[in-house]
């Protein structure tokens, strides 16, 4: 069978989530660690975003679609359940992660904090404005994982792998640590997920 190639820089949470999926399933893969908008990426993704996948003649963009392909194309444990209810809850939390958690944590907090204008400094109005929306996300996620231990119920799914790198990134900032401390149930869930070899083994190298 052709080699599975994941295309995208390891600092991307979306790339990490897919690497975690491969680790959890025991699927061998080659990582091509390129940034967005590079030729390997634009050959597949019309908007130049990472991650992308190549597997023989198959070329896929969008992390949820890539995860679905990997989960279905390879044997082993399923992380996007086959049953109607499990599939619905899993894709529901993947979408919520991508639309709400990524928006408020990554786009409105992490990016304006870490890549602030060198002259003007960080846009604190924008960054502080994100915190109440992030808290809504954290509260929602804490309630969800309180039921069965994982977002989609009592079993680990790709929805958990998708969300945990985003939450952990938030926790790398002092304001993120302080905000997360208000949600101990979510903290326990994060501790459980980040202790897994699939998370530990996919840590991005320190940025140069
Ligand atoms: N919905 C996309 C989001 C991917 C995404 O936002 N990737 C970022 C890196 S983490 C990117 O490529 N950013 C560059 C850009 O949007 O131009 C997915 O799930 O794959």
**Mean pLDDT calculated for residue range 68-80:** 97
Q: What is the pLDDT of residues 24-53, one digit of tens each?
A: 999 999 999 999 999 999 999 999 999 999
Q: What is the pLDDT of residues 86-102, one digit of tens each?
A: 999 999 999 999 999 99
Same domain, 99 and 190: yes
In a domain, 205, yes or no: no
Same domain, 40 and 12: yes
**Mean pLDDT calculated for residue range 156-173:** 98
In a domain, 203, yes or no: no
In a domain, 129, yes or no: yes
Share the mean pLDDT of the chain.
Answer: 97
* Ligand 1 centroid distance, CA of 129 (Å): 23
CA distances to 6, 132, 159, 163, 202 from 17, rounded to whole Å, are 11, 25, 9, 8, 9
State which residues form the domain around 184.
84-197
Q: What is the pLDDT of residue 206?
A: 81
Q: What is the CATH number of the domain that holds 39?
A: 3.40.30.10
Same domain, 20 and 100: no
Nearest atom in ligand 1 to the alpha carbon of residue 15 is 10
> Against a cut of 0.95, is the pTM above it?
yes
In a domain, 110, yes or no: yes
CA distances to 19, 59, 144 from 5, rounded to whole Å, are 11, 10, 33
* Ligand 1 centroid distance, CA of 147 (Å): 30
Same domain, 100 and 165: yes
């Amino acid at each position: 069978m052709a080699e599975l190639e994941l295309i995208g820089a390891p600092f991307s949470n979306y790339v990490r989530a897919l690497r975690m999926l491969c680790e959890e399933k025991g699927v061998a893969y080659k990582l091509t660690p390129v940034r967005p908008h590079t030729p390997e990426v634009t050959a597949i993704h019309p908007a130049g975003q990472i991650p992308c996948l190549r597997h023989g003649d198959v070329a896929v963009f969008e992390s949820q679609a890539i995860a679905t392909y990997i989960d279905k194309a390879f044997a082993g444990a399923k992380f996007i359940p086959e049953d109607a209810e499990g599939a619905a809850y899993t894709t529901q939390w993947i979408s919520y992660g991508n639309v709400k958690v990524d928006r408020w944590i990554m786009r409105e907090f992490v990016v304006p904090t870490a890549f602030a204008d060198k002259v003007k400094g960080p846009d604190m109005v924008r960054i502080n404005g994100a915190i109440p929306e992030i808290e809504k996300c954290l509260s929602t996620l804490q309630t969800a994982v309180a039921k069965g231990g994982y977002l989609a119920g009592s079993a680990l799914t790709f929805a958990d792998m998708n969300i945990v790198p985003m939450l952990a990134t938030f926790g790398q900032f002092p304001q993120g640590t302080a905000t997360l401390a208000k949600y101990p149930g979510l903290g326990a869930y994060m501790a459980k997920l980040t202790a897994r070899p699939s998370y530990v083994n996919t840590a991005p190298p320190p940025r140069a």
